[in-house]
């Protein structure tokens, strides 16, 4: 063991024995472990670790060594206070500090799984969606349960809703969401001092964002509370029929109102039309939206993965990471605040009845003939050669052939892995039976 260690030091540290003429590997190997001491001399700290010397001294000489700093191999090489500090940052909502946690910083920590999850929470609140998924995957790989991941992500949803309520001057609702955020993430009763600290810090972040935006566009910021339009969000999982749902809602409302409809990134709250319909997928705490109604769509996640791969939007090695994101965060968020969630299978069968149901929910009562006319309009929508900002259809949006089984694309092995990993979700929404896979 000592021969290997010395060889490693010689190779990696480029060190020289302090007394090379008196030291040999054979003499080291004959010493008892308690008589051997390894340390480094840093003669010039500006050049270390290039100039590193090693020394071997008998136990009787240890007390006479005062000019060297011995390496304590038992001392932890990680920050012992890192987890406590990260927990405090999470309670206060210091997302920027949590988002700054790197994999290298936490990888050697014994609580690295929890730290990875907190790092994901910080990235989620700062809009770093790709890195959020990566750190959630790290947290899972390092041993965090799906239950804890869901709790922290749902806590983040409440924080986002609290920020949105604050922007809309809904103080009571904001307080409820911030309280729910902390209680969900801490599994119990909430200290009101912590809630107060969270609210104060989030208010500072919101004010800072407004100030940055105002300086960037050089115009005053208009709060959503100032706009009186009826705002309807159409959201849900990617490739789950959300574009069909968006167009259905849009056409139904256009039969009665003057409607402004668009993708979320193009949304202008100051548009004078009386009804606004906005399509989106991922929850975003930076949206200044005072939402009146939310309609969402859902689909078997195995089909979503296959469809995303067909579109070239998802690679085989990223499927699990993407589905973790959908089932742990995106779908729970929309499911809990949706006025109506439709399943993809409903779009494929019985469109007229579905149109009537959606119309009724919107307050637009149609007879069979009127509903059929909306269906005809929907059927007439086809992707063009470029993105259509009105219909939200893009080239290749709809497959030339209906694919009922994505096993060929995903492979049987991955299909089975998805069925096992997400069994609870698939059973809950009737995509597989309780008894089998």
Q: Write the CATH number for 379.
A: 3.40.50.300
Residue, of 362 and 146, whose pLDDT is higher? 362
Q: Are residues 200 and 324 in the same domain?
A: no
Q: Please check whether residue 22 lies inside any domain of the structure.
A: yes
> At residue 67, what are phi and psi to the nearest 5 degrees?
-100, 5
Q: Which helix (H) or strand (E) holds 40?
A: strand 39-41
pLDDT of residue 303: 92
Cis peptide before 49 (omega within 30 of 0): yes
Local structure of residue 222 (DSSP, 8 states): P
Question: Which DSSP string do the residues of 74-133 spell out, in sequence order?
Answer: TS-SS-TTHHHHHHHHHHHT-HHHHHT--HHHHTTSTTHHHHHHHHHHHHHHTT-HHHHH
Q: Are residues 285 and 320 in the same domain?
A: yes
Q: Are residues 240 and 364 in the same domain?
A: yes
Q: Please check whether residue 225 lies inside any domain of the structure.
A: no
Average pLDDT over residues 294-315: 92
* Helix, strand, coil distribution of the chain in percent, nearest 5: 55, 10, 40
Highest mean pLDDT pick, 105-119, 136-150, 382-396: 105-119
Residue, of 371 and 22, whose pLDDT is higher? 371
The last residue of one of the domains, among 183, 217, 251, is 217
The 3-state DSSP class for residue 171 equals helix
Q: Please check whether residue 417 lies inside any domain of the structure.
A: no
Mean pLDDT of the chain: 78
pLDDT of residue 417: 93
C-alpha distances in Å from residue 38, one per residue of 5, 19, 29, 68:
10, 14, 14, 11
What band does 350 get if pLDDT is binned at 50, 70 and 90? confident
Q: Are residues 368 and 244 in the same domain?
A: yes
Q: Are residues 124 and 15 in the same domain?
A: no
Q: How far is CA 52 from the centre of its chain?
A: 44
pLDDT of residue 344: 93
**94-98, 204-208, 289-293, 373-377: segment of lowest average pLDDT:** 289-293
Q: Are residues 321 and 353 in the same domain?
A: yes
**Rounded (5°) CA angle 302-308-312:** 145
Average pLDDT over residues 201-227: 57
Cα distance between residue 164 and residue 431, in whole Å? 34
Average pLDDT over residues 115-140: 91
Q: Please check whether residue 429 lies inside any domain of the structure.
A: no
Judge whether residue 260 has pLDDT over 70: yes
Judge whether residue 437 has pLDDT over 60: no
pLDDT of residue 225: 42
Domain count, the chain: 3
pLDDT of residue 212: 58
Cα distance between residue 360 and residue 366, in whole Å? 8
* CB-CB contact of 114 with 144 (8 Å): yes
Average pLDDT over residues 99-124: 94
Q: Are residues 238 and 351 in the same domain?
A: yes
Judge whether residue 399 has pLDDT over 80: no
Q: Please check whether residue 413 lies inside any domain of the structure.
A: no
Q: Please check whether residue 380 lies inside any domain of the structure.
A: yes
Q: Which helix (H) or strand (E) holds 378?
A: helix 368-379
Q: Please check whether residue 373 lies inside any domain of the structure.
A: yes
Local structure of residue 340 (DSSP, 8 states): E
pLDDT of residue 306: 92
Q: Please check whether residue 422 lies inside any domain of the structure.
A: no
What band does 348 get if pLDDT is binned at 50, 70 and 90? confident
Q: Are residues 241 and 268 in the same domain?
A: yes
The boundaries of the domain holding residue 275 are 230-407
Q: Are residues 274 and 393 in the same domain?
A: yes
pLDDT of residue 77: 74
pLDDT of residue 392: 92
Q: Which residues contact 129 (CB under 8 A, 6 or more apart)?
A: 123, 282
Give the model confidence (pLDDT) of 310-320 as tens digits. 888 999 999 98
Judge whether residue 296 has pLDDT over 70: yes
Give the model confidence (pLDDT) of 66-110 as tens digits. 444 444 444 557 888 899 899 889 988 899 999 999 999 999 999
Give the model confidence (pLDDT) of 139-175 as tens digits. 999 999 888 988 898 888 888 888 877 877 778 888 8
Q: Are residues 115 and 62 in the same domain?
A: no
Residue, of 429 and 56, whose pLDDT is higher? 429
Average pLDDT over residues 186-212: 75
**8-17, 232-241, 271-280, 375-384: segment of lowest average pLDDT:** 8-17
Q: Are residues 63 and 163 in the same domain?
A: no
Judge whether residue 37 has pLDDT over 70: no
Local structure of residue 216 (DSSP, 8 states): H
The last residue of one of the domains, among 70, 92, 119, is 70
pLDDT of residue 100: 94
Give the model confidence (pLDDT) of 403-431 as tens digits. 557 888 899 999 999 999 999 999 999 99
**Rounded (5°) CA angle 234-180-112:** 95
pLDDT of residue 385: 87
Average pLDDT over residues 129-138: 91
The 3-state DSSP class for residue 422 equals coil
Q: Are residues 61 and 146 in the same domain?
A: no
Confidence (pTM): 0.59
Tokens for 204? 């500072």
């Amino acid at each position: 063991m000592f021969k290997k260690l010395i060889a490693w030091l010689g190779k990696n540290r480029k060190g020289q024995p302090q007394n090379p003429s008196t030291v040999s590997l054979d003499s080291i190997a004959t010493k008892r472990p308690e008589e051997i001491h390894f340390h480094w001399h840093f003669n010039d700290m500006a050049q270390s670790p290039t100039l590193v010397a090693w020394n071997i001294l008998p136990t009787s000489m240890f007390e006479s060594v005062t000019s060297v700093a011995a390496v304590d191999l038992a001392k932890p090489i990680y920050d012992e206070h890192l987890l406590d500090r990260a927990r405090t940052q999470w309670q206060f909502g210091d997302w920027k500090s949590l988002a700054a946690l790197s994999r290298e910083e936490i990888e050697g920590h014994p609580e690295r799984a929890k730290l990875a999850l907190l790092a994901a929470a910080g990235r989620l609140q700062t809009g770093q969606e790709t890195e959020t998924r990566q750190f959630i995957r790290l947290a899972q790989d390092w041993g965090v349960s799906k239950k804890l991941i869901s709790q922290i992500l749902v806590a983040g949803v409440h924080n986002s809703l609290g920020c949105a309520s604050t922007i809309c001057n809904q103080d009571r609702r904001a307080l409820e969401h911030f309280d729910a955020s902390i209680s969900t993430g801490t599994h119990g009763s909430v200290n009101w001092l912590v809630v107060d600290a969270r609210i104060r810090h989030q208010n500072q972040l919101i004010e800072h964002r407004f100030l940055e935006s105002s300086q960037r566009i050089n115009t005053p910021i208009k709060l959503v509370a100032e706009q009186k339009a009826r705002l309807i969000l159409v959201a849900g999982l990617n490739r789950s029929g959300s574009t069909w749902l968006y167009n259905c809602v849009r056409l139904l409302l256009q039969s009665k109102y003057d409607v402004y409809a668009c993708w979320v990134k193009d949304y202008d709250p100051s548009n004078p039309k009386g009804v606004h319909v906005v399509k989106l997928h991922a929850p975003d705490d930076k949206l200044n939206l005072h939402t009146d109604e939310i309609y969402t769509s859902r689909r078997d996640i195995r089909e979503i993965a296959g469809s995303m791969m067909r579109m070239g939007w998802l690679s085989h090695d990223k499927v699990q990471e993407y589905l973790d994101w959908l089932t742990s965060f995106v779908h729970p968020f929309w499911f809990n605040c949706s006025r109506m969630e439709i399943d993809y299978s409903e779009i494929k069968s019985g469109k007229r009845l579905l149109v009537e149901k959606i119309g009724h929910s919107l307050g637009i009562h149609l007879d069979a003939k009127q509903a059929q006319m909306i269906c005809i309009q929907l059927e007439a929508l086809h992707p063009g050669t470029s993105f259509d900002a009105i219909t939200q259809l893009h080239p290749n949006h709809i497959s030339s052939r209906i694919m009922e089984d994505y096993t060929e694309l995903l492979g049987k092995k991955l299909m089975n892995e998805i069925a096992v990993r997400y069994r609870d979700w698939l059973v809950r929404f009737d995509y597989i039976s309780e008894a089998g896979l």
